């Protein structure tokens, strides 16, 4: 049995990484963080040509028809360059929900547009991850009323996928009557998170989402996997930057990389992060091939990468010394991206509790 990436999967990851290295320099990240668009035209159109927006969408609906492992490899590449595009919600969570619970008409309408990069979906499911100060969103007579917090990619969205208090999923036009969007100020400025208030807003129910809540759980799992993979890529980039800096920075007429303490810091980061690669890949594989294990493995991946990512981001910054806190190197953009991934769709403590519940421990 082959326990490695196929040649096609490696080529996919390499091609996306090369494209992002050329089109997503640090200056573009700075521009985005200073208030620029998180849907950079050159990056967005280029990724559309590579098929990134339609990775999970079947070819019959204009997509590429690949799986979650390929999506995770893509997220890893996006995390390495902290690419400012709406990927996790629009390209992964929304297609997952539509494929699992959408009607034929909804699939035919939205999947080709998502795959072509013509429409962006924001996803609001956080009320089913951790309860906020509100009671969430209530559906009544084809309309939604309430507040959805931490809507992923909400500022960029043309359409919103909102979960109501009974776990059903609804499509809402971002410009529909009764919709108020407010961008929330999080530490990560490379992606948008919004508060969405709905007041008697017309909504289109995904018919397969009513009832058990399975479609909602699948959607959340998909998002958690991608956030874990994004952290993996961002952590790799921070380690590489720390090692490169340690080879150049001199103290006492010696490069700091020759000091045993710095060597240990770099080695510990690599030793902690490298096993996470297999965990993320296996979780992605399980979603399609081993559904009975998928939720548990996604919970493990999300929680563990959050903890390891925190360690790597802190240690890599320490290797840089005072320079690590300046905007000259821009290391803080990766630091903040990892920090945001840790919180979105569940903190490690909350996700571990879910893993325990899945196994019947609580």
The CATH number covering residue 92 comes to 1.10.540.10
pLDDT for the residue numbered 288? 85
DSSP string, 82-141: T--S--IIIIIIHHHHHHHH--HHHHHHHHHHHHTTS--EEEE-GGGTS--SS--EEEET
* Token pair 């902290």 in the structure block, residue: 82
Same domain, 98 and 175: no
Pairwise CA distance, residues 37 & 53, whole Å: 18
Which residue, 78, 96, 115, sits at the end of a domain? 115
Please report whether residue 2 resides in a domain. Answer: no
Pair (236, 347) in one structural domain: yes
Range of the domain at 37: 7-115
Pairing between β-strand 121-124 and β-strand 159-163 as defined by DSSP bridges: parallel
Bridge partners, residue 183, by sequence: 194
Instruction: Tell me, yes or no, whether 173 lies in a domain.
Output: yes
CB 90 within 8 Å of CB 117: no
Residues 245 and 346 in one domain: yes
Tokens describing residue 277: 């690669």
The answer on 134 and 22 residing in a single domain is no
Global pTM value: 0.96
DSSP 8-state class, residue 35:
T
Same domain, 220 and 332: yes
Per-residue pLDDT of the chain (362 residues; tens, 9 = 90+): 456 788 999 999 999 999 999 999 999 999 888 887 777 888 999 999 999 999 999 999 999 999 999 999 999 999 999 999 999 999 999 999 999 999 999 999 999 999 999 999 999 999 888 766 666 899 999 999 999 999 999 988 999 999 999 999 999 999 999 999 999 988 999 999 999 999 999 999 999 998 878 999 999 999 999 999 999 999 999 999 999 999 998 888 899 888 999 999 999 999 999 999 999 999 999 998 999 999 999 999 999 999 999 999 999 999 999 888 888 889 999 999 999 999 999 999 999 999 999 998 98
User: Does 95 lie in the same domain as 17?
Assistant: yes
Verify that 172 and 90 share a domain, yes or no.
no
- Position 1 scores a pLDDT of 43
Coil, strand, or helix at residue 300? Answer: helix
Are 148 and 163 within one domain? yes
**Is 1 inside any structural domain?**
no
Which residue, of 158, 177, 209, is where some domain finishes?
209
Residues 6+ apart with CB under 8 A from 133: none
| Same domain for 96 and 60 | yes
Task: Specify the number of domains making up the chain.
Answer: 3
Last residue of a domain, one of 209, 224, 245: 209
């Amino acid at each position: 049995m082959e326990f490695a990436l196929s040649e096609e999967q490696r080529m996919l990851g390499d091609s996306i990484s090369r494209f992002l290295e050329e089109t997503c320099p640090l200056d573009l990240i700075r521009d985005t963080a200073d208030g620029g668009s998180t849907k950079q035209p050159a990056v967005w159109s280029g990724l559309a040509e590579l098929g990134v927006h339609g990775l999970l969408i079947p070819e019959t609906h204009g997509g590429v028809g690949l799986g979650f492992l390929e999506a995770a490899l893509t997220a890893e590449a996006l995390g390495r360059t902290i690419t400012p595009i709406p990927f996790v919600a629009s390209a992964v969570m929304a297609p997952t929900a539509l494929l699992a619970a959408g009607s034929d008409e909804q699939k035919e309408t939205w999947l080709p547009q998502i795959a072509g990069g013509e429409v962006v979906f924001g996803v609001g499911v956080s009320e089913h991850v951790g309860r906020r100060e509100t009671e969430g969103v209530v559906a009544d007579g084809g309309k939604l009323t309430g507040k959805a917090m931490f809507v992923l990619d909400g500022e960029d969205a043309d359409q919103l996928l909102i979960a109501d208090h009974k776990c059903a999923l609804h499509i809402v036009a971002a410009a529909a009557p009764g919709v108020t969007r407010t961008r929330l100020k999080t530490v990560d400025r490379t992606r948008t998170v919004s508060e969405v208030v709905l007041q008697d807003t017309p909504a289109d129910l995904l018919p397969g989402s009513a009832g058990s809540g399975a479609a909602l759980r699948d959607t959340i799992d998909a998002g958690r996997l991608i956030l874990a993979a994004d952290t993996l890529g961002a952590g790799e980039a921070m380690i590489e930057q720390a090692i490169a800096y340690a080879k150049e920075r001199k103290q006492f007429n010696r490069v700091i990389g020759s000091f045993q303490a710095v060597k240990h810091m770099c080695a510990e980061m690599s030793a902690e992060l490298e096993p996470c690669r297999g965990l993320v890949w296996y979780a992605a594989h399980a979603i399609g091939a081993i559904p009975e294990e998928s939720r548990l493995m996604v919970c493990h991946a999300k929680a563990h990468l959050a903890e390891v990512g925190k360690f790597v981001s802190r240690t890599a910054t320490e290797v840089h010394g005072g320079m690590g806190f300046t905007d000259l190197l821009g290391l803080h953009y990766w630091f903040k991206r990892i920090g945001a991934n840790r919180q979105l769709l569940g903190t490690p403590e909350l996700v571990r509790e879910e893993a325990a519940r899945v196994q019947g421990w609580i």
